[in-house]
Amino acid sequence: MGWIPGWDSIASAGWWSGFYFWISISCLIGLGIAEVASHRYGVRKDELVSIEDDAKDKRHDADMARLQHDTAQTVERAALLEKEAAEARLELARLKLPRNLTVEQQDQISQIARQFPGTPFVLTIFNDPEAISLMGQIEDSLVAGGWIEQEWGAGRSIMFTRQDKPSLNLNSLVGLYVQADASKSDEFTAPVVLIANLLKAAGIAALSQVGPMASEMDKNVIFIQVGKKPM
């Protein structure tokens, strides 16, 4: 085995024996270091896996919380939309219903009228069955309270004539107006406002007006002009 270095020499064989001994020792030390490193890397891998799993769990929890929040908001929006739709349906139904005064509401108007007995008033109407019906209820209530109905002057061409009742002028208004001239504000402001407020409380769009009136309007009476129902 002459091809092996130091094989035929005592000194060389001893040297190579020591060399390979220390090589083996170094390998053992390296093996130990590698084992420790392998163990530490294994532990670190497990830690990273745990960290990643925790992160996934947190992301999942966050996604679920966001989904639940979004779902709750969607349900809330749907409920709000349904409420608005229901309110819109009720409002539409209310708009379709004719304006009307209950017996109790008519009696309340009569009670207010009795506080101002003998007050002269004039009615005008929009030529529509709904407006004519409401006008009749207001008229009967005021007359029952002691007010005196008058016609809006003679000779006007557009009139709504009735048997045994004053003729009425037709109007092209929308809504309902309780009006008096500014010259009679001390006398008429209170009944104008009270009657208009009672009508508004009954759900009828009514406007009280005390101010300068048109020249053709009688300044000594209260005007109640029942126009077309607002839509």
In a domain, 134, yes or no: yes
pLDDT of residue 177: 97
Chain Cα centroid distance, residue 207: 26
Within a domain: 62: yes
Backbone torsion region of residue 118, taken as left when φ is above 0, otherwise alpha when ψ lies between -120 and 50, otherwise beta: left
Phi, psi of 213 (to 5 degrees): -105, 160
Give the separation between CA 227 and CA 130, rounded to whole angstroms.
10
Asked if 228 contacts 174 with a C-beta cutoff of 8 angstroms, the reply is yes
Question: With contact defined as beta carbons under 8 Å apart, do 125 and 161 qualify?
Answer: no
Q: Against a cut of 0.75, is the pTM above it?
A: no
Q: The domain containing residue 201 runs over which residues?
A: 103-226
Output the CA–CA distances (angstroms, integers) from residue 125 to 82, 130, 208, 209, 218, in the order listed.
39, 10, 16, 17, 16
| Residue that finishes a domain, picked among 97, 117, 133 | 97
Residue 147 has a pLDDT of: 97
Statement to judge: residues 115 and 195 lie in one domain: yes
* Number of domains, the chain: 2
Contact 216, 153 (CB under 8 A): yes
State which of 40, 66, 97 marks the end of a domain.
97
Do both 55 and 143 map to the same domain?
no
Say how far residue 149 (Cα) sits from the centre of its chain. Answer: 44
Q: Does 35 share its domain with 53?
A: yes
CB atoms within 10 A of CB 123: 25
Token representation of residue 90: 């009720």
Among residues 155, 145, 141, 104, the alpha carbon closest in space to that of 226 is found at 141
Exposed, middle or buried, 142 (CB in 10 Å: 0-12/13-18/19+)?
buried
- Residue 11: predicted pLDDT: 73
> What pLDDT is attached to residue 117?
96
Residue 143 has a pLDDT of 97
Residues of the chain with pLDDT under 70: 1-8, 93-95, 153-158
- Regarding whether 168 and 78 lie in a shared domain, the answer is no
Exposed, middle or buried: residue 179 (CB in 10 Å: 0-12, 13-18, 19+)? buried
